[in-house]
Structures are given as C-alpha cells and as structure tokens.
Structure 1
Amino acid sequence: MTTPLLEIDDLSVAFRTRKQDVTVVKNVSMSILPGQTVAVVGESGSGKSTTAAAVNRLLPDNGRITSGRVVFDGRDLVKASARQMTAIRGAGIGLVPQDPMSNLNPLMRIGDQIAEALEVHGVASGKAARERVVELLDMVGIQDARRRARQYPHEFSGGMRQRALIAMGLACRPKLLIADEPTSALDVTVQRRILDQLEQLTAEMGTAVFLITHDLALAAERADVVAVMYHGEIVETGPAAGILGDPGHEYTRRLLGAVPSLSSVRVQEPPRDAPDLVVVDGLRKVFPGRDGDPGFTAVDEVSFTIPRGQTVSIVGESGSGKSTTANLLLGLDEPTAGSIRFDGTDLAGLGRRELFAFRRRVQPVFQNPYASLDPRYTVEKSIIEPLRVHRVGTPAERRKTAAELLEKVSLPASMAGRLPHELSGGQRQRVAIARALALSPELVVLDEAVSALDVLVQAQILELLAELQRELGLSYLFISHDLAVVRMISHRVHVMRGGRVVESGTAGEIFDRPSDGYTQELLAAIPGSR
C-alpha cells in the first residue's frame, strides 16, 4: 500500500471563548495519498476550514489542538516547532486561503508578494523570481501579467486577488496544496482553468490537494475522495462518485437536494408593466493609470433598467466590470460618462442630504464577508448600526429588529454577542445580509452575496430574498458568477465581458438559447457540464 502523504488521526480542536472552550473539530480522521485530491464538503461552520488550519498549524490565537496527530510526510506536525513549521509551509504545504483581501499585503505590489515566497524558500531570486511571477500570474488566467504584477491588491478585482493567492500557493510546487474555497470568487471559465492546472500538477509531480469547498458539483468533478463534515465530525467518506451519486447519510442527501441547477426555474413571475426603479444609460468608468499607464476602462457604454419588484442579474468573468457597475449604482464611485437615475432622479445631482436619504433606500451586500464587518462590533451591533445612523426606532426596538433578522438569515440568537473573528465566512455573510435588510430598502445590490455560503444556507437566503420581494416589492441587482443561482432567481440577465454588455435577455433566453459565444463558453464551463 502507498504511504499517505498526510494522515489526520483522531484530531480535535477547541476555541476559547469568553464563557468556555468550544470543541469545533471532533475526533476527525482522514488521509491523503500522494497525487490524490480529497475534498471536504459541509455547511458553513462545520469545521472544514478549522481542520485545514490545524494541519498547517495556523489556528487563531484562541484555537488549539486538544488531541490527535497530523502526520505530514512522516512527521507529526502537532509536535513540530514554530521554526520547523515555517520551513514546511510554502515549500512542503502550499496554501490558498479563503479570503483574498486579508491575506494580501495592501502595501506591497502583487508581484513582490509572490516573489517573496519564491525567495524565502530558495526557489528563485532577482530577475529569475520576477520572470517566474509573470509565468505564475499568466498560468492562473491574469491577462497582461507583467503589468499586473506591478499593481497593488486594491487594483485587482476580488476574483483576480484570489487568482494571485492561487499563484502564490503553487509558487514553490509543494507536495500538498491546501485549497480553502479556492474558486468561490472565480467565474466558471477561470475556475476550470485553475482546476485543470491543479490536476496537471497532480499528474506531473504527485502533488496532493486538500480541497475545502461547499460546491458539491466541483467536488464530484474534481476529487478522488469526498469527506462530508457536519458539526465538527466527518459523517461520511468515500470515493466521490459513490458519496455524491448514492449518499448514505441523511445530511449528505440534504446537501445534494439543495444544490441549484441550470434546470431550476423561478416560480414567481415578474409583475407586469412594473415601472423602472433604476435606469442606467451609457455608463462608462475609466480608472486613470500611473507611471505613464494610459488607464483602464472598467465599464464601457453599459445600459440597463431595474423594474420595481424584479431581480436583474449581471454575470461575467472576474474583471468584467460587474462590481464596478455595482459601486457606481451605489454612489460609491462617480462615472466618467453616462447617467444613473434612481426613482426618476439623477444620482449626479444629489446633495449631501439627498445622498444620505438615497443610501437608506439602497443597501449593499458586498462580496467579501471578512472586510465588510467591523472587527470591533458584535453581530448585534453590526445589524443595529444602520438603524442607529438613520435614527430608526428606539434602542429596544433596534435590538428586537436585530433578533428578528438573525432568525430570518438562519443564525441562532446566541450569535448576537459574537465578534466577526468568531464566525465562519458563511456566517459573516449572513450577518451582512441581515444588516442590509435592517432599513427595509427598496433596492438591494448583492455583489456575490451567496458565493461564500454552503448550499443549504444559500437555499434559505435565496428563499428569504424571494419572500421579501413578494412581501415588500423589493428590487435586486444580483451580481454573481454562479449561473445556476442566477437562473433560479433572475427575471432578466445581462452578460458582461471586458466592461461591455455582450448579451441581454430573460433567464430563459440566456440559459436556454444563448446567442453570444462568450455566454455559451460560460455555460459549458460549469462543473458537471462536461
């Protein structure tokens, strides 16, 4: 038998809270062979990411391994010194973390951060390191890699930042790559390219992949073995085809039953002859360049409307201009040309008082749940904050509203006193959605708002959004790379590429009869479609 590259034996992990120690990983055992891809799937907060952090000895300060062994390449990492772990990370075990923004240094150029990893582990230095950086960025699908290497993280889209982290994780060609939701921020075409590259590494070098994902279709297509986690325990494990084709555990069956597909059809019909709440006309945004750079056109002649009570979606690859369009609509950035009219009023003409009133009527849910919550605020305070700023209700009424919203987004009341670092990524995103709904807005702009959520919670949130739309007549601008979700909830869809809208239509027209080659390419790249 082949000796496992990684063997986790009876691992338990606990977190120290203000009241007591909480065990979040309970007696987990699993192994990964050289060249094997093992996917761990499960809902947000099930212990997936904590298990991976324990392997790499990167638990937060209040976390500790309470029992068990983690044997990597013959060495028990639980007993390894800090210096030994520093040598192992990067060279032996590569890491692609879940959150691209907090794991990149905002003060360093992207290329310098990747080159630093190469130099620390003696892979390359100087000019050779810079050339390798360009190769890595090109490999993960970043166009004009040499120019992009000189840019800073804030000049990259969320998906591009994630690709930079993937390049960093692969830089030293490690024996094991821990990939924690490595493609959750990526469109399906780039996702396929990245995962194809991981498979190529596995074939060439025997690199093993420890894949953490809530995307069951991705796990079924890419993993050799799937382990299902629930409440800190592995409840089912085995070959991917067997686990996901014929699940034995009730929880696995629930997960599979909640997965959206391109055959999903929205039940709710759009209101007939609904007036337009938003009219976007000829929108253009050019970001100026530096050091002789001519600049970058992020949005180019984009026009669309959002009728009252309807969901309009924008899909497209990372860097296509989706999030920039959302920021312009939210009034967080000013267009270079064109106009945005909200309820008949041009945003360009709003004064400070009118803009404050506008922000109450339009609320965002941003892509990154790690950066969108104040780390010093409890969950309750984060939800209450917009109510306080807009002077809505008494303190007691605000607390009651916060409790009701927590229940609506499927978070227990006990979460109210927790801080963001005590929550999983999916739990943080649910808090962000609850906060956005606190002011009962007319329009909610959701920028990849469900991409960090497992399928069970995602289904609950999408049903909540549909229910609120039916009850309150809410309008949504829904930005996503998850085409199955877009198909399920959208009344109208716009496909963006390179800052332009290349195809528009109803959900049925776009997904059943796509006319543009790029739209056809997006649909063909969905995991499980080949």
Structure 2
Amino acid sequence: MTSSTPLLAIRDLSVAFRSGKQDVTVVKNVSMEIMPGQTVAVVGESGSGKSTTAAAVNRLLPDNGRITGGQVLFDGRDLTEAGEREMVAIRGAVIGLVPQDPMSNLNPLMRIGDQIAEALEVHGLAVGRAARARVVELLDMVGIPDPAQRINQYPHEFSGGMRQRALIAMGLACRPKLLIADEPTSALDVTVQRRILDQLAELTADMGTAVFLITHDLALAAERADVVAVMYQGELVEVGPAAEILADPAHEYTRRLLRAVPSLSSVRLAEPPREAPDLVQIEDLRKVFPIRGSAAEFTAVDTVTFSIPRGQTVSIVGESGSGKSTTANLLLGLDDATSGRIRFDGTDLTSLGRRELFAFRRRVQPVFQNPYASLDPRYTVEKSISEPLRVHRVGTTADRKQTVADLLDQVALPASLAQRLPHELSGGQRQRVAIARALALSPDLVVLDEAVSALDVLVQAQILELLAELQRELKLSYLFISHDLAVVRMISHTVHVMQRGRIVESGTADQIFEHPTSDYTRELLAAIPSPAGAD
C-alpha cells in the first residue's frame, strides 16, 4: 500500500555560505517532497544549489555553510533540529549517500572491501566473514568484476568508474529508506549506468527505498525519475512529473537545458577530415597489471593498434575498465607499456632519454575528468596556467603573464579570474582553466580523458564548441576518451570501441553510430538514455 505521507519533506529551505564577513544565500526557500519508493531528480547547472540542497538534508554542509531557514522533515522528524549524535545514527543506516567524487570520498590507505565492511559494522548489520560475504555480494551487484579478488585492492587500483561503483555499494550497504545520489553515474559508461540505475529501481520497488537523485543529465532524469525538480540560481523554478516537465517545460531555463542535451542527432562539431599524416602511431600495445593478494594478472590493454592523424580527433569509447584511460596514460608517458610500440612524430617513445621525454611532454598535454582534483587548490588561476611555462622555462615573468591573459581570452574566461583560487570558480570555469593550462605550451596533441563528463549540459556544450574552435584555429590533434557516445559522435573524426582491453570496432563517427558491426557497440548505443521531447 502506498503511503500518502512524504518520507522527506523540505519546507522553505534556505542555506547560506559565509564569504568573508558576509553570508551569501545559495539555496532560497526551496520546498519539495519525496514519497516512500519515489525517485525525485533535481537538475540544474553547476552552482544552481542542487548539491547544497542534498547536503542540507543529511547535515553535511561545509564548515562555512549553514541552514538559515526552513525545515527538513524526514519521517516526520525535523533534521535541522537534530543533534550530531542523532545524525550519525541516521547517516548510512536510514539515509544512504553516494557522493560525486570517488577519489576524495574513499580512503586511499584502506582496502575497498574494508571501507564497505566498515559501514556494515558501524551500524551493527554484519561483522567478520558475514560482512566480507555481504561486501562481495554488493560489489558484484554494482558490476565490479571478480569481486572476491577486488575486495583486497586499494582505490588507486580501481578505474574511476569502478571507484564510483564502490561508493554506490557503500551507499546501498545498509538498505536505507532514502538514498541521496549526487551525480552517481556521471563517471560511468552507459551500460554500467543502466545496470546501476536498474538496481536502484529494484530497491525502490522491493523495499520502498526513495531516491533523491542529483544530476546534470536530463536524459537520465527523464528516464529514471518520477518527479523532476529544476533549480536555477538557488531557486526551484519548476517541479512536476518527469514526463510532463521534459515534454512541455514551462520555464525558459528548462527549455535551454533540454536544447543543450547531446543526442545522436546533435549537430556535428568536427569538420570533415582531410588527408593528414599520422602524429601518433600505436602498435600492438599491451599493459598487464598484477592483482594484489593474488598470483593472477590483469591485462588492461591487449594488443591495441591505432593512429592519430594531425589536426583530427580520435575517440576511444567503452565501459569502465575497458582500458581506454590506461591507453591514454601510456601515450602520456605516465605509465610504461608491458609491450608494443608508441611512435610520436616518427619517434619511438621507448627510446627517449630523460631530456627527450621532457621535451615530448611539452608537445603532449592532458585534460583530466575532475577539475577539482587536477588544479592545485593553493594556486591562483594565473599560477596554475603559467606553471607549465615556468617548468619548461618559457619566456620571462612578463611574457608568461601576457600568455596567461591571452589563454584566458582564448577559453572565454574574463581576465578578472586570474587571481582567484579554484574553490572560487564553478566546475565549468575550472575545466576551462585546465584547458588553458594544457594549451600554454602550444602542444601538438591534447589528451582529453572524460574532460566533459562531470559538466552540466550547458557548460558541456560550451566546452565542446570551444574544443572544436581551438582545433580549427591551432590545428590541434585530440585523443578524446569518453563513455558518452552522443558527445563522441559530435566531436570525433575516428572512433575506436574498446571492451576488456581490446579494440572491438573502429571506423568514422558515422560508420560506428549508423552501422555498428559488433554486438557490444550496439549494446552501448541501445543503453543511451533519451529525454522525452529532447530530440
């Protein structure tokens, strides 16, 4: 029988952050309800207040944040009045949490299995062998291969997507009444995303678990939520049944979000390719890792061969753990290949000495997925962008200052941001800074590893257009690593599909997306969520 009483009722919630001597209100009089077993998705761009609203529910605001008004009623209890001891008992046991950034939310010194088991033990649900058995079950449930072996590994031995799945396992460990999922699948490929969200749907049906889903992915919200709430500049501007809001949005901001959602029918940004010599040639590349606590080995990259022509975008797609990021790291020289060959501009990278490798790294620059982690929190924007110039001893101090100003203009950021620190920027601004830093040394190749996957659709569209424009102007080559097939189609000239360390299909973007030949590629395409009314 469906309850008519909300499990969670947020009433006129306001939240402020202390900035200097002033309080800045970031959530303004927000009201919404979540019924038992219901999934409510809160969507909006970076800085809209959606994650802050979720953090206020389980009282995990940053030190400079505080609730300035309203109520958070959970099972009828106002959590804004609850003491910290009561909140500790509530968190995990009845309100589960899947946070966004796995690297800052997993202890790098603890095995994955021990971290999940700790959640079970703290709430008295299982200890010892029973806890270990439940952890293996949870890791299997969220799609971690060989969970009985992986349980003994550390976070750095997991791919980004696997770390995110471990966090999801932790959030579900105690079978909570409410699961707050803050961008829970932004790092996951579409097939694993579907598996995770199917599991959340099963929990909702079987146990009455409600899901408070924070996402910038409107397609995901449309497909998975019962109710969609749209936030803009700290306010709730539209709320209602998912199908109605996404098919016929009333607010202009919602319409803008829908127009920006990438789909397989989106306008192509990559210009038609021209004949060009290869900048990079990769032949029979292999990378084998030992598995901790076992005599077995894991082949992350298995006899991979492809090339990157000058001035073109070559993309690698595949599920988490398919080997795409490992391939990027081998090309960047961040890891050594077990066997095979990488030639850059005709030179075998394995033959490079220390000085030659230093010069190579000037010509190849990375942009990583997480701009929160890739920028030094102590460095101003100017210092972050100019750091590669200082390291490579390029120009005088005045020259470098001018270069930073030029780069900020190139990535459409105002010069006034130069003296700001990363925490004073939005996610989209941070990623633009990361791109500016990558361009500082005028590289030939930029390796973009999930560089837009954590961005809301409006900012993502701006970054993709920026990348295409920079490629045209500067004749850049890109290796674009992504699990988002709609984005890949927009920006790519050539696409390689990876599965379990091997390339299973290659072709032009049109060939791959219009006439896929492998079952795996067809499975990836079939798993892409599509919002109603966003064609």
TM range (shorter): over 0.9
Query: Are the structure 2 counterparts of residues 182 and 28 from structure 1 closer, same or farther at C-alpha, using a change threshold of 3 Å?
Result: same
Alignment map for 1:181-200 (pairs within 5 Å): 181-200=183-202
1:214 aligns with 2:216: yes
Letter in 2 for 1:58: L
SS at match of 2:400: helix
Please identify, of 67-76 and 405-414, the stretch whose mean Cα deviation from structure 2 is larger. Answer: 405-414
Q: In structure 2, what is the equivalent of residue 45 of structure 1?
A: 47
1:468 aligns with 2:452: no
CA distance in 2, matches of 1:344, 1:20: 58
CA distance in 1, matches of 2:252, 2:433: 28
CA contact (8 A) 2:223 2:531 kept: no
1:138 aligns with 2:140: yes
Letter in 2 for 1:473: K
Query: Are the structure 2 counterparts of residues 290 and 96 from structure 1 closer, same or farther at C-alpha, using a change threshold of 3 Å?
Result: closer
CA distance in 1, matches of 2:335, 2:345: 19
1:434 aligns with 2:436: yes
SS at match of 2:343: strand
TM-score, normalised on structure 2? 0.96
Letter in 1 for 2:19: T
Alignment map for 1:58-77 (pairs within 5 Å): 58-77=60-79
Identity, in percent, stands at 83
Letter in 2 for 1:365: V
CA distance in 2, matches of 1:452, 1:113: 25
SS at match of 1:15: strand
CA contact (8 A) 2:218 2:531 kept: no
Q: In structure 1, what is the equivalent of residue 389 of structure 2?
A: 387
SS at match of 1:147: helix
CA contact (8 A) 2:269 2:465 kept: no
SS at match of 1:131: helix
CA distance in 2, matches of 1:407, 1:202: 48
SS at match of 1:333: coil
Q: In structure 2, what is the equivalent of residue 85 of structure 1?
A: 87
SS at match of 1:228: strand
Query: Are the structure 2 counterparts of residues 267 and 183 from structure 1 closer, same or farther at C-alpha, using a change threshold of 3 Å?
Result: closer
Q: In structure 2, what is the equivalent of residue 148 of structure 1?
A: 150
Q: In structure 2, what is the equivalent of residue 444 of structure 1?
A: 446
Q: How many matched pairs?
A: 530
Alignment map for 1:507-518 (pairs within 5 Å): 507-518=509-520
SS at match of 1:370: helix
CA contact (8 A) 2:219 2:529 kept: yes
CA distance in 2, matches of 1:414, 1:119: 50
Q: In structure 2, what is the equivalent of residue 491 of structure 1?
A: 493
Give the counterpart of 1:245 among 235, 244, 247. 247
TM-score, normalised on structure 1? 0.96
CA distance in 2, matches of 1:352, 1:524: 46
Alignment map for 1:285-364 (pairs within 5 Å): 285-364=287-366
Query: CA offsets, 1:164-200, max 9 Å, x none?
Result: 0000000001111000000000010110000000001
Query: Are the structure 2 counterparts of residues 66 and 404 from structure 1 closer, same or farther at C-alpha, using a change threshold of 3 Å?
Result: farther
Q: In structure 1, what is the equivalent of residue 5 of structure 2?
A: 3
CA distance in 1, matches of 2:395, 2:28: 43
CA contact (8 A) 2:177 2:210 kept: yes
Q: In structure 2, what is the equivalent of residue 28 of structure 1?
A: 30
Alignment map for 1:110-189 (pairs within 5 Å): 110-189=112-191
Q: In structure 2, what is the equivalent of residue 99 of structure 1?
A: 101
Q: In structure 2, what is the equivalent of residue 266 of structure 1?
A: 268
Letter in 1 for 2:463: I
CA RMSD of aligned residues (A): 1.7
CA contact (8 A) 2:38 2:211 kept: yes
Letter in 2 for 1:197: Q
CA contact (8 A) 2:40 2:211 kept: yes
CA contact (8 A) 1:265 1:487 kept: no
Deviation at 1:383, TM superposition (A): 1.8
Deviation at 1:396, TM superposition (A): 4.0
CA contact (8 A) 1:373 1:382 kept: yes
Query: CA offsets, 1:415-435, max 9 Å, x none?
Result: 444433444544433332232
CA distance in 1, matches of 2:155, 2:420: 29
